Structures are given as C-alpha cells and as structure tokens.
Structure 1
Amino acid sequence: MSDSRSEKQSAKRPYVMVAPTGARRGRSDHPALPVSIDQIVETGRACFQAGANGLHLHIRDAEGRHSLDPGRYVETVAALRRAVPELDLQITTEAAGVYDVPAQIDCLEKVCADWASVSVREIARSPELADRVYGLCAAQGTRVQHILYDAEDAALLAEWTKAGIVREEQTECIFVLGRYAAGQQSSPQDLDQFPKGKSPWMVCAFGPQEHACLTYAAKQGGDVRVGFENSLTDENGNYWKDNAASVSALVAKLERAVN
C-alpha cells in the first residue's frame, strides 16, 4: 500500500478515498449502499475503476448493524484484496455510540490492518488507554489516520503528540466538515477552522456541497474522501446512481480544478 499517493492517480490531483457505507445508513437510504461483503466488494471494484485510490471500510453484523467484529473485518478485507488488489484499504474503529475504547483496541489488535482511522475524541473517553492504542498501531505497523471534528480535537492531538502518546510517524488527519447529524450541510469554509501543517490531511463533508468542499480542500493541498457515508446526492439534490458515480464525477471535477 502506498503511504500517500496511489500510482493510479494523476500526479496533479489529490488522493481520493471512497467511504461507501458508514455506520448509520442502510439500503433503505439508498438501494445501492453496500452492506454485505459481496456488495462492498462490487462497490470497491467499481469505485477503483472510477478513480478511487482507497476505500474506507465499515462492516455490518448479521442484522445489518454497525460492527467492529474482527472476524468479519478479516473476511471482508480478504475478499477485497482478492477482487481489487490495487485498492488501498482502511478500516474504521468508529464507536458509533456502540463500542467502548477496549473494544476498539480489541478490533485493532485482532484485525492488524494496514491502515485504520481513529477518532481522538473517542479515544479521549478513556485517556488512560490512549498510549496503548497508538503504541499498538506502531508496534504492528498499522498506519493511523486521526479523525478530527474541530479545532479542539486538533489541539488534543497536538497535546498527545507532544507528550509522545501519538508516535511521531502517526501524523495523518482527516478533517470532518460538520457532524453526523440529521440534515447536516457542510460548506467549504468549514475547513478554515482546522490547522494545516506539513503532515498529510484529508477532508470529508456532508450534504449537497460535498464535492464543492472537497474541491476547495484539494486546491489547498488536501486529499479527499467521498461517498455515501457522507452524502447521497449531487449539488442539486439528485441522488447518485451509486458510489462509483459520485467518485467519477468528483475525479473529473478535481482534474479540472487542479490543471
């Protein structure tokens, strides 16, 4: 797996990750939202062909609920690796109001993923375990992307980095523009609250301005995450046919914006 840019992408456009599922939506929200392993694999293949470099992976239990089950994760990752070996894979450790920090640690340890997203806000629920989280990732070679919701989260990450809790190679962040709430509408200027240094950073956004937000971020040197986890529609409120359609439209827009 590349540590910043896939060979497939244009040298000028940013890294594009697709988040096709998320923890909260289901097939009732959009019939093309993937929840089963077969659906996730087919979506991964289509999104890679549309220009995605990586996939942010959520899994579900037998009842379709958000899950951090290590066995199901391992099975899904293996299926994606067989079908789309060139696609980078990132697992989520998102609690989604269901899991505590020990359960997140158990997931990280048993899956031993190449790449994982970790919310500093969620780990801060049990601050005494923070060093164990980041130490485990460093020891097993799991690349970390820190999820930051606001400037306060960024300040906490800086504090943990200074204290050595977050290791020096664990510098990547994703800035979430807005929150996971009903009717959430992100705007490009939501990005301006976040401090941007030399470390790699990515952006995701909600609602019809999703692509506008991501284009705004790309022009500032950021990478981008797109998909049904964050938005189901285009800027006019029309539903995308599937995740790959949103990826394809975004890639075209980014290539126009940066050339």
Structure 2
Amino acid sequence: MLQACLNGGRTREFHPAVPFTASEIAGDAALVVAAGARELHIHPRGPDGLETLDPDHVADTLQAIRATVPGIPVGLSTHWRIAPGGIARQEPIRQWKTLPDYVSINLIEDDAEDLIALVLGKGSGVEAGIWSVDDADRFVRLSNAGKCLRVLIEINEQDVEEGLRVAEGIQAVLNAAGSKLPILMHGDEASVWPVYREAMARGFDSRIGLEDGNLLPSGQMAKDNADLLRAALAPGNR
C-alpha cells in the first residue's frame, strides 16, 4: 500500500504546490489517487495556513476530501507542536465529530499512551509512529498496542546507513515482542528514496509526498505530489 503524505507542516517556500486549504487538499487528493495512492495522510490547516486540530477545520477538510475521493482512507497528524500544543491538543481531538479513518501518534511524545486510548475510544484507527528503538520498546509494552492499525516506522536520520540501522533495531524489538501489526516505513528528505526502496524490498507499506521531500529519485524537483507518486510506482522503484 502506498500512502500519499500531501503537506505536513511544509510551506510554499519548500514547494509551491504544497496544499493548504480544504479545497486545495481535496484537489491534490484526487490527483494522487489517480496516480496510484491508496491512502492519504494530511495536516489540516487553518485560515492562517498553520496546522490545526480545530474540529470545524478538520471536518471541512475531511468532508472535502471524501466528496472528491470517496472510499479512500484519510489519516491526520496529531503531533505535539500542533496548536494548542502538548497535552492541551487532546481537547480539540476530544471534540471531533467528523472523524478521520486513522491518526498518527508519535511514541516519543509524552501523552502517546493516553492519546492512543482517546483516539481508539472515538472509533478511529491509530498509526503508531516509531522513530527509535526506545519508542519501539515503549510501544510494545502498551496495553493498546495490538489494537493499533499499523506501526509507522519513521526514519528521520539523514545518513542513510544510520537510518537503516535504526529501522533494523525497531524491527528487532517488534519481532521479539511478537507484533503482528502491518508496518509502513518511510524516510525524510535525504533518506526518502533509499528507505522507500528498503520498504518495498521488505514487503512493507510506505508513503511518499511533499511532507517528506520534494525531490524525485533523479534529484530533480518534483512538479507536485502526483509527480512523486508516479515516480514511486515506476517499475524501477518498486
């Protein structure tokens, strides 16, 4: 399964095609699904262009996407820095009425266990974001670990060999704990394409999009998210 990560916290300085508004995100969703994406990971934005968990903005964005690409699973970020930030961001999540299919929750964050319970209790799935062996150790000890949708191995290291060693360590912890959850593995910036190819070689799911990087495998700037998806699905990269 290839997921498209459309925007993250990226700005238009990073790439002019980063979608902000609900209509822009929905339009981009149509393009990446046509290019081969089977799921979406998005960061809704407020009128100021900043990431938001506000129930109304989340609902507007989800409804716009679902009207454009019905049936495509949509996931949202819940990362620690999204306003109001820290543990306080649980309150807007608690108020959500229009729910994403899943959210990503980073195990490095202090309230990960509580947030996982909150989201599962609302009926959405959880991608458990694991950045390190320590994160993996914490995750496998959670009572709700087995109820999550998948493990999201996120390689932030810019040295590719170092990043692949981190991935090996995380997988070792998951295997030792007997985890049966699906794995989605992806890189960031310099590691995007090497980690993507490693994920394909291991039979994992992965993701591609402007949240993670703006370059094609050739090193050229991508035109947009759909350009990145087409590159990922080209025969030489699968």
TM-score (norm 2): 0.87
Equivalent residue of 1:75, what SS? helix
Corresponding residue number in structure 2 for 1:230: 212
Question: Which residue identity is paired with 1:120?
Answer: L
- What corresponds to 2:122 in structure 1? 140
* Structure 1, unpaired ranges of 5+: 1-14
* 1:204-219 pair list within 5 angstroms: 204-219=186-201
* Native 8 Å contact 1:215 1:253 kept in 2: no
Are the counterparts in 2 of residues 226 and 246 from structure 1 also a CA contact under 8 Å? Answer: yes
Structure 2 residue matching 1:145: 3-state secondary structure: strand
Q: Distance in 2 between matches of 1:136 and 1:205?
A: 28
Q: Counterpart in 1 of 2:138?
A: 156
Distance 1:42 1:140 in 2: 28
Inter-CA distance 88–42: structure 2 relative to 1 (3 Å threshold): same
Pick aligned residue for 1:44 from 1, 21, 29: 29
Correspondence list, 1:19-34, <5 A: 19-23=5-9, 25-34=10-19
Secondary structure at the aligned position of 2:60 is classed as helix
2:2 matched residue in structure 1? 16
Do the aligned residues in 2 keep the contact of 1:186 with 1:207 (CA within 8 Å)? no
Tell me by how many angstroms 1:171 deviates. 5.4
After TM superposition, list the pairs within 5 Å mapping 1:162-177 onto structure 2. Answer: 164=143, 166=144, 168-170=146-148, 172-177=150-155
Pairing of 1:172-191 with structure 2 (within 5 A): 172-178=150-156, 184=158, 186=160, 189-190=164-165, 191=167
Q: 1:216 to 1:168 in 2, by over 3 A?
A: closer
In 2, are the aligned partners of 1:203 and 1:224 still within 8 Å (CA)?
yes
Question: 1:178 & 1:227 partners in 2: Cα distance?
Answer: 15
- Please give the alpha-carbon distance, in whole angstroms, between the structure 2 residues aligned to 1:174 and 1:104: 21
Deviates more, 1:101-110 or 1:214-223: 101-110
SS in 2 for 1:202: strand
Is 1:119 aligned with 2:106? yes
Is 1:62 aligned to residue 47 of structure 2?
yes
What do residues 212-238 of structure 1 show as CA deviations (whole Å, max 9, x unaligned)?
311211211210011111110023431
**Secondary structure at 2:222's aligned position in 1?**
coil
Is the Cα–Cα contact under 8 Å of residues 51 and 251 in structure 1 kept in the other structure?
yes
Partner of 1:91: 76
Match of 1:16, as an amino acid? L
Which position in structure 1 is the counterpart of 2:170?
194
Question: Structure 1's 96 and 113: CA in aligned 2 closer, same or farther, altered over 3 A?
Answer: same
Offset, 1:109: 4.5
Partner of 1:104 in structure 2?
A: 90
AA aligned to 1:194 is: I
61-70 or 190-199: bigger deviation: 190-199
Contact 1:185-1:207 within 8 A present in 2 as well? no
Identity %: 22
Match of 1:245 among 224, 227, 232: 227
Which AA in structure 2 matches 1:113? Answer: P
- SS of equivalent residue, structure 2 residue 141: helix
2:35 maps to amino acid: A
Closer/same/farther in 2, CA of residues 138 and 97 from structure 1, 3 Å limit: closer
| Deviations, residues 49-87 of structure 1 (Å, cap 9, x unaligned) | 000001101011211112111210111000110011032
2:58 counterpart SS class: helix
How many residues are paired up? 228
